[in-house]
Amino acid sequence: MDFHIVTVSGDGIGPDVVEQGKRILDKVGEKFGHSFQFEEQLAGGVAIDATGEPLPEQTVEACLKSDSVLLGAVGGPKWDNLPNVRPEQALLGLRSRLGLFANLRPAELFAQLAAASPLKPEIIGHELDLLIVRELTGGIYFGEHGRSADGHAAWDTEAYSTPEIERVLRVGFDAAAKRRGKLTVVDKANILETSRLWREVARAMAAEHPDIQCEYLYVDNCAMQLIRDPKQFDVIVTSNMFGDILSDEASMLAGSIGMLASASLGDRASSKGILGMYEPIHGSAPDIADQDLANPIATILSCAMMLRYSFDLQAEADAVRSAVERVLDKGYRTGDIYSEGTQKVGTKEMGALIAAEI
Ligand code: IPM
Ligand code: MG
């Protein structure tokens, strides 16, 4: 099959890691008889430099026409103090314009990297595999924001409707059904009305999913439980802001943020499946940009998620994953996951090693 992928390399190490993602997809294409065509578009700081806007309309239109989007990273100190524009607006814009309401963030600790987790071995064990499903186009990120006339009061509004909650919960229930069958709905229902609505909707859906063990947890408790006993979790589903916070916390359990992939999905069909946006969860790390130092594995695993979720190419996705595992087994590491006795390699070599294992 032929796939048309828009790459939004963005800023900092974005281009370094996207280059390796493309290399991996090319190798998958060669091995499995697919062809991936890439089209680069601007977003973030590079787009501000080139056009004055963080998210040019042309980029949105190209993404809407594509089969899938591979994003590197956006942002950097160069664009931190501009009046009225920020590179991060590109991310929010892409999420909402592409209708990507469900953000899947797996926190996985590979056995080979168990020593990189800051948790004691008796807590983390050898492996960790949990999935955070974060609502991505609603809640306080997209509610009404405002400032009083005198500038001394401000507000941001958390708002959710039943259909918005239902569609992201459905992604959570489906994911749990394919995994270990446990779903944790995280909220602040002791305080927030939106959270009480989340619980109501979740309880009604749980009644229709007797196969899933569904439980409810307040977000503060969840933050604590993630450190106390992360293995109790399978799938966590939560609102936009709680998901933002908990997914950073969970990423740390997995050792290096340089390993973690993500998928943002909606219900818009592309010509080859479901339109999605795939990106490493790390940022643009401008201090190491263009020096062959970044870990490309998060982006490569994001490409595996693209194969799995947008294109339903399960064997291809598995092949990428096992290639990553074999390279780790052989002892190759980028600087962020290096430990004594392993062999340090750069961004490009890591990409080449993984491609060679496919
Ligand atoms: C994330 C990031 C973004 C968010 C920022 C950069 C807008 O933290 O993807 O988690 O808050 O969603
Ligand atoms: Mg975040």
Residues with a CB atom less than 6 Å from ligand 1 = 88, 91, 244
pLDDT score of 127 more than 90: no
Q: Whose CA is nearest to atom 6 of ligand 1?
A: 88
Ligand 1 centre to CA of 180 (Å) is: 28
Q: Helix (H, G, I), strand (E, B), or coil: what is residue 233?
A: coil
- Cβ atoms of residues 75 and 45 within 8 Å: yes
Res 117: pLDDT: 85
220 is a catalytic site residue: yes
- Cβ atoms of residues 235 and 177 within 8 Å: no
d(C-alpha 129, C-alpha 131), whole Å: 7
Task: Give per-residue pLDDT as tens, 23-61.
Answer: 999 999 999 999 999 999 999 999 999 999 999 999 999
Q: Tokens for 280?
A: 């490493």
- Determine the length of the chain: 358
- Cβ atoms of residues 270 and 310 within 8 Å: yes
What are the angstrom distances between the C-alpha of 5 and each of 9, 212, 276, 278, 285? 12, 35, 10, 11, 24
Catalytic residue among 80, 248, 267, 290: 248
Q: The tokens 């998901």 sit on which residue?
A: 243
Res 189: pLDDT: 98
Q: Whose CA is nearest to atom 12 of ligand 1?
A: 244
Q: Whose CA is nearest to atom 11 of ligand 1?
A: 244
Catalytic residue among 244, 272, 278, 336: 244
For 158, other C-beta atoms within 10 Å of its C-beta total 19
For 217, other C-beta atoms within 10 Å of its C-beta total 19
- Helix axis angle for 14-32 and 297-305, nearest 10°, is 50
Task: Give per-residue pLDDT as tens, 84-120.
Answer: 899 999 999 999 999 999 999 999 999 888 888 888 8
Catalytic residue among 22, 67, 160, 188: 188
- Cβ atoms of residues 47 and 72 within 8 Å: no
Ligand 1 centre to CA of 278 (Å) is: 14
Ligand 2 centre to CA of 245 (Å) is: 6
β-pair partners for 333? 344
β-pair partners for 145? 156
- Cβ atoms of residues 87 and 11 within 8 Å: yes
pLDDT score of 276 more than 90: yes
Task: Give per-residue pLDDT as tens, 216-241.
Answer: 999 999 999 999 999 999 999 999 99
Q: Tokens for 243?
A: 């998901």
Q: Tokens for 312?
A: 């339903």
Q: Which atom of ligand 1 is nearest to the CA of 103?
A: 9
Ligand 1 centre to CA of 41 (Å) is: 20
141 is a catalytic site residue: yes
Q: Which atom of ligand 1 is nearest to the CA of 247?
A: 10
β-pair partners for 70? 7, 278
What are the angstrom distances between the C-alpha of 318 and each of 67, 149, 262, 307? 20, 56, 16, 9
Catalytic residue among 11, 27, 67, 141: 141
Res 236: pLDDT: 98
Q: Which atom of ligand 1 is nearest to the CA of 241?
A: 11
Task: Give per-residue pLDDT as tens, 67-86.
Answer: 999 999 999 999 999 998 99
For a mutational test of ligand 1's pocket, the pick from 71, 74, 89, 91, i.e. the residue with the most ligand atoms closer than 8 A to its C-beta, is 91
Ligand 2 centre to CA of 244 (Å) is: 4
Which ligand is closest to the CA of 262, given by its number?
1
pLDDT score of 124 more than 90: no
d(C-alpha 248, C-alpha 31), whole Å: 35
Q: Whose CA is nearest to atom 10 of ligand 1?
A: 244
pLDDT score of 22 more than 90: yes
Grade residue 11 by pLDDT with cuts at 50, 70 and 90: very high
Task: Give per-residue pLDDT as tens, 310-342.
Answer: 999 999 999 999 999 999 999 999 999 998 999
Grade residue 256 by pLDDT with cuts at 50, 70 and 90: confident
pLDDT score of 347 more than 90: yes
Q: Whose CA is nearest to atom 8 of ligand 1?
A: 244
Which ligand is closest to the CA of 89, given by its number?
1
At residue 69, what is the residue type? V
β-pair partners for 40? 7
At residue 314, what is the residue type? Q
Give the rounded percent of residues in the chain with a pLDDT score beyond 70: 100
Nearest-CA neighbor of 307 among 268, 278, 281? 278
Q: Which residues contact 236 (CB under 8 A, 6 or more apart)?
A: 130, 131, 132, 133, 183, 184, 186, 222, 246
What are the angstrom distances between the C-alpha of 334 and each of 298, 325, 338, 356? 12, 14, 6, 17
Res 135: pLDDT: 98
Q: Whose CA is nearest to atom 7 of ligand 1?
A: 88
Res 116: pLDDT: 81
Q: For residue 81, what is the DSSP state?
A: T
